Structure 1
Amino acid sequence: MFNSLFIRLNNHPIDSDKIMDDKLLQTALNGSAVTVFAEGKDPKRTIVYHRLPFFSPKTNLLLELKREVIETGKSVRREVEIIKYNKIYYVFLNLEPIKDETGQVVGVAGTAVDITRSKKYQGDLLKSEERSRRLIDSNIIGVVIADTVKIYEANEAFLKIIGYSKDDLKKNKIKWKKITPIEWQESDQKAMEELLKSGINTPIEKEFFRKDGSRVPVLVGAAMIEADPLRWVSFVLDIYDQKLMEKRKDDFVSMSSHELKTPVTILKAYSQILQKLSSPNRTETLGYLNKMNAQITRLTKIINDLLDISKIRVGKLVTVNERFSFDQFAEEIVNNFRLTVNTHTIKIIGKTGKEICADRDRIGQVINNLISNAVKYSPGKEKIQIILESETDNVILKVKDFGLGISKANQEKIFQSFYRVFDEKGASFPGLGIGLFIASEIVRLHHGTLLVDSKKGKGSVFTLTLPINRQ
């Protein structure tokens, strides 16, 4: 670190023509600066001669700067570059004239501050800003710098998404809260809390108001620039086309499911009539009818699941509350499985002793799915445990199997729609992979939780937690 520099010429006026003569110059430096301005360091000597070879061609101006101080009688402040041992140092020089009582310049005094480190930081910052600027100007994605009151900067991609112009931005017509619909402001608040806590927030889907009043769906992520006051940079992706494709797909699934449901219902009715009309002695015919009825029941479940997904997508999955004994309800479901499942022993352990307020049919749908999966994914195993527990405000049902288990990487994926589990040989199990997605959505609507704890090859435990009194 450089601390000080002092130059004085025998207390006599200096002839500026002789300033370039190195023999006339003596430089007074403290010990810390000697290592930069002179070869070697002598702790007993504080006066060293100024050596020109230590200055790069760009900063041979140093002597000229001293000449300028001497000739003008005015101070000079300048950054200079110094090369020593093939290494570059940066110094900020502040040179001041020393005058006698008559006002004549008799010397030059000054300070030299090592700014090498700050210069490096400044260079790194400029490079970072340049990269950021290239990203912003590329308009690949919307980029906006904002706080809760004002949008300070936005690129063309963001302005195009929301339908505003650069002129609107300059006139401060675009405000974050103004373009955020009221139902999304709670999500924004949670994102800001996460931003303050960790410096970044998990990208969220939301909507913006466009200038014409229409809405556009977007995916928004952010990184904090400063905390007090809070200011952030957001990256905004227009997902309108993606949402449109999803809507078309959901509309198709919904329409197809409705169209299929009526003929399948009629087929099931005819199958049941034929079962009743068939002679008890014709066991072969009854066997075929039973198989046909089972397949129709399976097809009906698939259609109902697809209809549920369509309702979930548009927020129209309806639930109806009623009060019932949770223990009796679980017993009924397990007894139905005991009648149809001959590969496993299903045992209930414990009890809650509670009544709950919930949609009986929808919660039954969840528990049926959990037990069906336990049977499906534990081939060759003999038992499944249904564990009932209670807390002050919740009932808990756990479904434990001893089957294939689920790897840690896949435990979150199983609650996604159309995700299918594969066995050890890479073969998939029957089903569309939507049961757990529907179950998790039903539980969410009841303000409960559905969690999994599993080890590959050791089995799984699915834990359903429901509030006793659903709000």
Structure 2
Amino acid sequence: MAINEQENHNRGGNHEVTPLIYAALDASSSGIIITDNRLPDNPIIYSNKAFEKITGYEANEIIGHNCRFLQADERRQEAREIIREAVDKGMHVTVEIRNYRKNGDLFWNELSISPLRNEKGEVTHFIGVQNDITARKNAEEKLSFERQRMEKVILERTENLRNNEEYLNSIIQTIRESLVVLDPNLNVLTVNQSFLRTFKVTKSDTIGKLLFDLGNRQWDIEGLRTMLETVLPTSNPVLDFEVEHDFPYIGKKNMLLNAHRVELEGDYKDRILLAIEDITERRAIEKRKDDFLSIASHELKTPLTAVKGYIQLIKRFVPKDNSRLIDVVQKSDTQIERLNKLIVELLDVSKIQSGKLDIHRGEFDFDKMVKDTIEHIQFSNDECNIVLEGTTGVMYEGDESHLSQVVGNLISNAIKYSPGNNQINVYLSSLMNRIKFSVRDYGFGISIEDQKKVFDRFYRVGEIREKIAGMGIGLYICEQIIKQHDGNLWVDSELGKGSIFSFTLPLK
């Protein structure tokens, strides 16, 4: 069976067969994927429309990933081990597994996996067929819940708690953030003391009035109105909705809004809870920090360039028989290069934050760029062997310099964070209309919780921070560069078992 048009062409097959197969697969109501077992980590190379609909992901977010990304944080499910064993043995298997859609919703997936073999009997691909059985699972859970007859007790306790006005008011008043309780018509029912202090008003100025009329219509803010009148009626909570507004009496405020529609019985039916966090000072501090980084980086660049020139000049006059002096000069040159790299990264962060990171696109040989970058790194890291496997065979149109920076950073990190290991692996492959780069190390590994933050600016994993120096900006820059190329960068890791950093880039 042909897997893609390129393979069909290489085998001299009928060029009309593959489109018909894909059309048939797309017509299926079951989600269908095809993975390439010949490539590292068995990545997905095809997904049909039903798979995209079930998971909420688009094709460009699916291709290149291993199927396990759908399990999010739940990596210890028994079904995963069953799947892993079946893949290792090239066997058919059907399991029920907990998956998560792109928006974070859980769904139960009935997954059937079947191997495809070539003429030699080798497993080249796997076909996965999935069906959403969430409704059935929910029904089973509901029956079990009803048999235990706990629902009545829980509802009674919840109702008593919600109907306790004194308890609710004490919570509202205790919260340090500004909190407003609104009725369905957006009239203010109550506010806490933090709101009164922050916005310098009294209860008589607020209670019973339309939110947008407060303070001579100071609260008639376009962003706030959009949130309450457009987003919130969908019954979905609104989280971290940022609004900036210049109030006539208290000045400009940056506010982070969280809103929940709460539907209760009795006296508290259909309330809207609006939490307002004043982040004005935080944003000011962040801006001052970014300004400082930009200024400091530029100011350091000039004297460093001069020092680097002096070192190069000194190298010319160092006697060849003075090995100690040669070693001192070489170490100085290495440290200057390290400092120069750090300053370049700080400048990149500054450019990214100000939206001024320039991407200069041009056509270049992607495989050659990777090989040249590896050779440069290998030259100064002879204790660790960098093994390159696979090719893309692609002339890619993008910013070669910045992409080389990403490749170099990921490989250097793999060496840096796996001390004592004498090898890392780099993989290149072409997947449908994307190219994929991966680097695997056998070092510390990263926990699930830290993986969510590892691409944040200045974030460093606690345990690693204590062992290895760094600023936590390299991965942030890498992610931003890949995003500028409409690509995806991610990490797959387990503590104590190393990490695999991968990115995919779309082809025109």
Alpha-carbon spacing, 1:405–1:370, altered in 2? closer, same or farther (3 Å): same
Q: Within 5 A, what are the aligned runs for 1:141-152?
A: 141-145=177-181, 150=186, 152=188
Partner of 1:179: 221
Q: Within 5 A, what are the aligned runs for 1:364-443?
A: 364-421=404-461, 427-443=466-482
Q: Which amino acid aligns with 1:289?
A: V
Q: Within 5 A, what are the aligned runs for 1:314-329?
A: 314-329=354-369
Partner of 2:309: 269
Partner Cα distance (1:381, 1:313) in 2: 36
Question: What SS is found at the alignment partner of 1:397?
Answer: strand
Partner of 1:223: 260
Partner Cα distance (2:358, 2:247) in 1: 34
- Checking the alignment, whether the CA contact within 8 Å between 2:255 and 2:280 is kept in structure 1 is yes
Which range moved further: 147-156 or 357-366?
147-156
Partner Cα distance (1:433, 1:173) in 2: 45
Q: Which amino acid aligns with 1:144?
A: V
Q: Within 5 A, what are the aligned runs for 1:119-198?
A: 123-127=160-164, 129-137=165-173, 140-145=176-181, 150=186, 152-153=188-189, 155=191, 157-158=194-195, 170=209, 172-173=212-213, 179-181=221-223, 196=235
Alpha-carbon spacing, 1:258–1:135, altered in 2? closer, same or farther (3 Å): same
Which range moved further: 334-343 or 155-164?
155-164
- Checking the alignment, whether the CA contact within 8 Å between 1:366 and 1:442 is kept in structure 2 is yes
CA shift, 1:267, in A, is 0.3
Alpha-carbon spacing, 1:312–1:161, altered in 2? closer, same or farther (3 Å): farther
For 2:484, which of 445, 460, 471 is the aligned residue? 445
Q: Which amino acid aligns with 2:333?
A: N
Partner of 1:83: none
Partner of 2:496: 457
Q: Which amino acid aligns with 1:448?
A: G
TM-score, normalization by structure 1:
0.62
- Checking the alignment, whether the CA contact within 8 Å between 2:232 and 2:260 is kept in structure 1 is no
Partner Cα distance (2:319, 2:336) in 1: 22
Alpha-carbon spacing, 1:151–1:292, altered in 2? closer, same or farther (3 Å): farther
Which range moved further: 385-394 or 305-314?
305-314
Partner of 2:378: 338
1:240-296 residue CA offsets vs partner (Å, 9 max, x unmatched): 112222222332232222221111111001111222344444444333222111111
1:364-383 residue CA offsets vs partner (Å, 9 max, x unmatched): 22211110011111222222
- Checking the alignment, whether the CA contact within 8 Å between 1:142 and 1:236 is kept in structure 2 is yes
Partner Cα distance (2:339, 2:483) in 1: 26
Q: Within 5 A, what are the aligned runs for 1:181-260?
A: 181=223, 196=235, 199-201=236-238, 203-204=239-240, 206-212=242-248, 215-225=252-262, 232-260=272-300
Partner Cα distance (1:253, 1:361) in 2: 23
Partner of 2:130: none
Partner Cα distance (1:315, 1:238) in 2: 25
1:370-411 residue CA offsets vs partner (Å, 9 max, x unmatched): 100111112222221111122333221101112222223322
Partner Cα distance (1:299, 1:339) in 2: 19
Stretches of structure 1 that go unaligned for 5 or more consecutive residues are 1-116
Partner of 1:354: 394
TM-score, normalization by structure 2:
0.58
CA shift, 1:359, in A, is 2.5
CA shift, 1:222, in A, is 2.6
Alpha-carbon spacing, 1:372–1:140, altered in 2? closer, same or farther (3 Å): same
Q: Which amino acid aligns with 1:417?
A: R
Partner Cα distance (1:148, 1:303) in 2: 53
Alpha-carbon spacing, 1:351–1:119, altered in 2? closer, same or farther (3 Å): closer
CA shift, 1:355, in A, is 3.2
Partner of 1:292: 332
CA shift, 1:131, in A, is 3.1
- Checking the alignment, whether the CA contact within 8 Å between 2:162 and 2:168 is kept in structure 1 is no
Alpha-carbon spacing, 1:361–1:149, altered in 2? closer, same or farther (3 Å): farther
Based on CA coordinates, which of the two structures has the bigger radius of gyration? 1
Aligned residues between the structures: 345
- Checking the alignment, whether the CA contact within 8 Å between 2:384 and 2:424 is kept in structure 1 is yes
Partner Cα distance (1:323, 1:176) in 2: 53
Alpha-carbon spacing, 1:442–1:204, altered in 2? closer, same or farther (3 Å): farther
Partner Cα distance (2:253, 2:400) in 1: 37
Q: Percent sequence identity over matched residues?
A: 32
- Checking the alignment, whether the CA contact within 8 Å between 1:387 and 1:399 is kept in structure 2 is yes
